[in-house]
Amino acid sequence: MATSAEDAGLVPQGGEPAVVAAGGAALADLSLFGTDPSAGSGTTQTPGTTQTPGTIQTPGTIQTPGTTQTPGTTETTARDDGLHAPAATAPADLRHQLAKRFDEVVANVRSSYVGKDQTVRLALCCLMAEGHLLVEDHPGVGKTTLAKALARSLGLTFGRVQFTADLLPADVTGAVVFDRDSGRVSFRPGPVFTNVLLADELNRASPKAQSALLEAMEERQVSADGVTHPLPQPFMVLATQNPFDAAGTFPLPHSQRDRFLLRLSLGYPDRADEDELLASTLTRPSPESLPSVGEPRFLAAFADAARHVHVAPEVRGYVLDLIGETRTHPDLTVGASPRATLAVLRAAGALAVSEGRGYVTPDDIKLVAEPALGHRVIVHPAAELAGVTASDTIREILSRLVVPVGGRR
């Protein structure tokens, strides 16, 4: 099967490489991010045995959680259509463990945040893809609760800044101050030095204060008095703005909106969810009391697996068709940039890993297209007067694009 997969262009010539994490070690040991002890999969290598990249080996067997595998056999789920075949990326057992832990984090977040499941999953995928999230919605729909629950569930630090018209850049990034006790000038870090930063009502701050986040979002660092200070890793900005109340606001420039990997709208809960919200007022845990079900090593493993997912040429062509249409559509004056193209694949890769796959499908692209592109394109004024929105235009483009199936488009 390996030969046919290579011939079909699914697996790079030379076999499957081990996925390498930021620390340089192959992500073969599932105990990296604390697997379930009851599953019996967190074993280490026994002295005297050899370990193949991507497997956990004990004498005579290769075991995955809940299954027993004959020595020397490998799992084969590849299909020769070029789209739905596992890539030469993370091994299947690691992908399944990552997807399982992802679902546990989602369930933990939803125990405190009452909202749409898909919204939580996309917000978590944004964090796992090492991106920033822009939330545009009415006040009081749970934006702060969602941000706190995400940070707490992953064992990350959380910070919040309420942006106002008189906010200064130093109020966000920190400042160099004189310490009277030591008689020295030192840097005092601002609230941006955290893992998850909630920038509430970002469009109410002046452009000068808004720009204070640019370097932090793109470079993951802050410069003060000629000295660069790295931010904690991972680092994610969850910014909110109310697009329905423009009085006294400074709209985010297009260049700054392009820094956000995804834009989501939480929306109002449906009747069943809102009834659950009322019924569980006294029993629902607060975000601060949530247990931590993830850890930085899990985030590193997930992010590395997302970077190495397989994207078939046909799927890449589907993305390029989508991006090309945004640049020539008569209702859009500004189309998607190359950064937007990369953002679509980053988000789709994280979504694929969250479902236990090592490859991206056209359905992944469809699901992340609007959140990844809706804030990056600009609608023509004439079309805007007619009621056309960026989201409507992207959905219209997706509806007429030919979806690649079976290696053909």
Could you read off the pLDDT of 148-192 as tens digits, one per residue?
899 889 888 899 999 888 888 888 888 888 878 888 888 888 899
> Per the omega criterion (within 30 degrees of 0), is the bond before 234 cis?
yes
CATH of the domain at 154: 3.40.50.300
pLDDT value of residue 405: 77
- What is the band of 116 on the pLDDT scale with cuts at 50, 70, 90? confident
Higher pLDDT, 315 or 8: 315
Q: Name the E strands within 27-96.
A: 57-58, 61-64, 67-69
In this prediction, residue 89 has a pLDDT band, given cuts at 50, 70 and 90, of low
Instruction: Say what the pTM is.
Output: 0.74
Question: Using 50, 70 and 90 to split pLDDT, how confident is the model at 108?
Answer: very high
- Assess contact for 123 and 226: CB atoms under 8 A: no
Tens-digit pLDDT profile for residues 261-297: 999 988 888 888 888 888 888 888 888 888 888 887 8
Q: Is the dihedral of CA 98, 348, 201, 226 positive or negative?
A: positive
Contact 236, 148 (CB under 8 A): no
Is 224 inside any structural domain?
yes
Give the whole-angstrom CA distance, residue 153 versus residue 288.
9
Residue 255: predicted pLDDT = 82
Mean pLDDT of the chain: 78
Q: Given this model, what pLDDT does residue 212 score?
A: 83
Tokens of 313: 């040429």
- Give how far Cα 125 sits from Cα of 102, 107, 176, Å: 9, 14, 35
Q: Which residue has the higher pLDDT, 23 or 296?
A: 296
**228, containing H or E segment:** strand 227-230
- Determine the 3-state secondary structure of 332 from DSSP: strand
59 within some domain:
no
pLDDT per position as a tens digit, 189-211: 889 999 889 998 888 888 888 88
pLDDT for residue 340 = 93
- Tell me: pLDDT of 85 over 60: no
Highest mean pLDDT out of 134-143, 182-191, 371-380 = 371-380
How crowded is residue 35: how many other Cβ atoms within 10 Å of its Cβ?
21
Q: pLDDT: is 181 or 400 the higher one? A: 400
Q: 251: Cβ–Cβ under 8 A, 6 or more apart, which residues?
A: 203
Domain assignment present for residue 174? The answer is yes
Q: Count up the domains in the chain and report the number.
A: 1
On whether the CB atoms of residues 224 and 176 are closer than 8 A, the answer is: yes
Answer whether 13's CB lies under 8 Å from 6's CB: yes
Alpha helices in 239-389 (DSSP H): 254-257, 271-279, 296-307, 313-328, 338-354, 362-373, 381-385
Measuring CA to CA, which residue among 196, 188, 148 is closest to residue 170?
188
Range(s) of the domain holding residue 196: 78-400
Domain-embedded: residue 258: yes
Structure tokens given for 166: 């008189």
* Sequence-distant (≥ 6) Cβ neighbours of residue 18 within 8 angstroms: 26, 27, 28, 53, 54
Distances (CA, A) of 375 to 54, 128, 263, 393: 39, 20, 7, 12
Determine whether 261 is exposed, middle or buried from the number of CB atoms within 10 Å of its CB (0-12, 13-18, 19+): buried
The number of angstroms, rounded, from the C-alpha of 232 to the middle of its chain's C-alpha atoms is 17
One-letter amino acid of 403: V
Q: Helices 313-328 and 338-354 meet at what angle, rounded to 10?
A: 140
Higher per-residue pLDDT: 383 or 63: 383
Q: CA 64, CA 74: separation in Å to the nearest integer?
A: 11
Q: What's the pLDDT band for 19 if we cut at 50, 70, 90?
A: very low
Q: How much of the chain, in percent, has pLDDT values that exceed 70?
A: 76
- Domain for residue 9, yes or no? no
The answer to the question of residue 58 being in a domain is no
Return d(Cα 136, Cα 107) in angstroms, integer.
24
Distance (Å) of CA 60 to CA 42, 57, 69, 70, 158:
17, 8, 10, 9, 46
pLDDT for 48: 43
21 in a structural domain: no
Within-domain flag for 30: no
Q: Which of the two residues, 258 and 245, has the higher pLDDT score?
A: 258
pLDDT at 21 over 50: no
User: In sequence order, what are the beta bridge partners of 264?
Assistant: 135
Using the CB atoms, write b or e for 111-135: b if 16+ within 10 Å: bbbbbbeebbbbbbbbbbbbbbbbb
Q: Which of the 8 DSSP states describes residue 194?
A: S
